[in-house]
Amino acid sequence: MTDDRLSGDDEATFIAAARSGDTARFALLTERHRRELQVHCYRMLANYEDAQDLTQETFLRAWNKRESFKGHATLRTWLYRIATNACLDFLEKRNDRTPVPSGLSDSGSEVLYLQPYPDRMLPEDPQESVVARETIELAFIVAVQHLPPRQRAVLVLRDVLGWPASKTADSLDLTIASVTSALQRARVTMRERLPDRRLDWRSPATHELSDDERGAVKSYIDAHERNDLDGLMSLLRDDLRFAMLPESGTSVVTAREAVDGWVSGGLFRRGHDDWRGVATTVNRMPAALLYLRAPDEPGHRLFAIAVLRVIDGKIAELTGFDATDKQWLDLLPTPTG
């Protein structure tokens, strides 16, 4: 990870701004950390909107606690500590948003408040471990949600950010022994929840999509635009894991069952609906923005975001997100033509 220490001049400037109440200078020096703090909050909360709100809360708390910054820790560390504790406070109040509703399967995208994270909102430095693909994919984000909040915080600080036990303990007001124990328990849970190919989420990973992933998302879009149900079915594995959030949790279905369900639900009316698709990436994963124009509508509207996990050229997991009126996604404009 890159060195996050301020230069002597910048650190002195920050302390001076904090003590003098210079809001403009304070904002300038803290704003550079917004994107990585928002990703951090997203890992803790699995919800893009909540992550935005908690990042704002972090900056508000930082301003209110500005006199507590003495320069003993880096500004980055100080802000991460505030953000982590803001998320923990938020999680204590989220009792009515149960991660795993009863009756759903033991793994997969059962987190009904899960939202995708637009790649264009990730930090720009591709070398930063905070945006490593292995720790931003949906499978990892969902697995983290199965941890109790403090275990979640310990795992993210230790295994994602690479913080030492002493620094993590200080940030969470825990003992080093408590941090070590929490991390061991968290790793066990993560290994139970993650697919086999994701057992070591700390290994280096590329950000780039594979040829199989690019080909699958292109074919998925083409099948929609042609209303080609047979072509769509041929792209899906027979042990497809499918979820449409926030309406339902994950289910394992055959390709035929998936397509039949979409038809019976009115998603495909051959010759009547006009689909357009745009390939993109969210959570460092291949995704399709699906735009729909019904016969009585003047133009295409963003209908859903389909996030794909591709194995051997076929779609093994398909997580759909209702995109109606979700302008916060900040993705792409409605396609023309």
Which pTM was predicted?
0.86
Indicate which CATH number applies to the domain containing 95.
1.10.1740.10
For 270, the domain range is 211-329
User: Could you tell me if residue 335 is inside a domain?
Assistant: no
Residues 125 and 271 in one domain: no
The span from the CA of 313 to the CA of 232, in Å, is 13
Indicate which CATH number applies to the domain containing 265.
3.10.450.50
Residues 108 and 247 in one domain: no
- Contact call for residues 106 and 252 (beta carbons, < 8 A): no
Query: pLDDT value at position 20?
Result: 80
Q: How many structural domains compose the chain?
A: 2
**In the chain, which residues have pLDDT < 70?**
1-11, 95-110, 125-131, 195-207, 265-266, 269-272, 327-337
User: Could you tell me if residue 149 is inside a domain?
Assistant: yes
End-to-end CA distance of the chain: 44
Residues 246 and 141 in one domain: no
Residues 38 and 62 in one domain: yes
Residues 31 and 140 in one domain: yes
Residues 144 and 281 in one domain: no
The span from the CA of 248 to the CA of 250, in Å, is 7
Coil, helix or strand at residue 306: strand
Query: pLDDT value at position 333?
Result: 57
Beta bridge partners of 289: 278, 305
User: Could you tell me if residue 334 is inside a domain?
Assistant: no
Quickly count: other Cβ atoms within 10 Å of residue 173's Cβ.
9
